[in-house]
């Protein structure tokens, strides 16, 4: 299976999703795209999951983007009107869902970038809210060097996440940057030694999962929606996000735990 989906008994609220094609640079072929889309769908439908981690298998590449050797011939056959394998068609049709275009995930996503991140892999990283990287990783958007437009989410998300001048350099030059530079421009949160990467991501995931899940999800949704709104509208929508949470059982549990000097136990209700 090109995608591994794991929920460990020690971390029942954390989903670990691994792109498991190390011999193909963890590139995304139709089967991988469909399984990745299904993994996100599973997370969105399972209310016990409060946070997700995405990583790649192996020690060299996080995700090299689309598997051109497989996707280009299929796309060309489709353009010629030829019949293609239904599974391949479903895989290609799942690109947006697989790469989390438009912020489709219900819970926060942590990227544990274990190696090089290119093209569609860069897009997947942009869909995460927290990013840890090994020092040996590089990052690149190479579409313009191939005569293509970056039709994932890079031209939309990247200028909103880092300074426009840095986004422009990545998009227009198609040149890779190293992990130190990615940290410097705010593309990633922290550099972590390879042997500590996954545990570091799990530690952060546990911190998120320990908080009230409805509040975390509302905050995630609010950040996405409030960006770009005028101030009056943003403050009104902020109150609309916050008001229902004050009536939840989790909010009452937090108050009781404070009075009783104990750790709250949140149930997502």
CB 250 within 8 A of CB 212: yes
What one-character-per-residue DSSP string does 174-216 give?
---EEHHHHHHTTSSSEE--GGGHHHHHHHHHHHHHTS-HHHH
As a whole-number percent, the residues of the chain with pLDDT over 90 amount to 80
Q: Into which CATH architecture does domain 3-209 fall? A: Alpha-Beta Complex (3.90)
What are the residue ranges spanned by the domains of the chain? 3-209, 213-260
pTM of this prediction? 0.93
Kindly report, residue by residue over 32-75, the tens digit of the pLDDT: 999 999 999 999 999 999 999 999 999 999 999 999 888 877 77
Start-to-end Cα distance in the chain: 35
Strand partners, 61: 116
Kindly report, residue by residue over 190-209, the tens digit of the pLDDT: 999 999 999 999 999 999 99
Average pLDDT of every residue of the chain: 93
Strand partners, 130: 110
Kindly report, residue by residue over 113-153, the tens digit of the pLDDT: 999 999 999 999 999 999 999 999 999 999 999 898 988 88
């Amino acid at each position: 299976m090109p995608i591994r989906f794991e929920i460990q008994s020690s971390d029942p609220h954390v989903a670990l999703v691994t792109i498991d094609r190390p011999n193909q640079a963890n590139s995304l072929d139709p089967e991988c795209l469909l399984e990745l889309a299904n993994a996100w769908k599973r997370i969105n439908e399972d209310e016990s999951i409060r946070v997700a981690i995405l990583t790649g298998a192996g020690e060299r590449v996080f995700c090299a983007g689309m598997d051109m050797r497989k996707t280009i011939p299929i796309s060309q056959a489709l353009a010629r009107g030829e019949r293609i394998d239904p599974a391949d068609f479903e895989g290609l049709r799942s690109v947006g869902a697989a790469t989390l275009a438009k912020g489709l995930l219900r819970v926060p996503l942590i990227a544990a970038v274990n190696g090089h991140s290119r093209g569609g892999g860069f897009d997947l990283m942009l869909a995460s809210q927290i990013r840890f990287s090994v020092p040996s990783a590089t990052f690149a958007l190479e579409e313009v060097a191939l005569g293509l437009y970056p039709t994932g989410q890079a031209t939309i998300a990247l200028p909103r996440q880092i300074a426009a001048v840095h986004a422009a350099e990545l998009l227009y030059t198609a040149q890779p940057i190293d992990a130190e530079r990615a940290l410097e421009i705010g593309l990633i949160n922290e550099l972590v030694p390879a042997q500590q990467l996954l545990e570091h991501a799990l530690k952060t995931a546990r911190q998120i999962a320990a908080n009230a899940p409805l509040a975390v999800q509302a905050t995630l949704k609010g950040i996405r929606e409030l960006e770009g709104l005028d101030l009056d509208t943003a403050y009104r929508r902020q109150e609309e996000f916050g008001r229902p949470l004050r009536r939840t059982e989790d909010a009452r549990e937090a108050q009781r735990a404070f009075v009783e000097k104990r750790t709250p136990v949140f149930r997502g209700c």
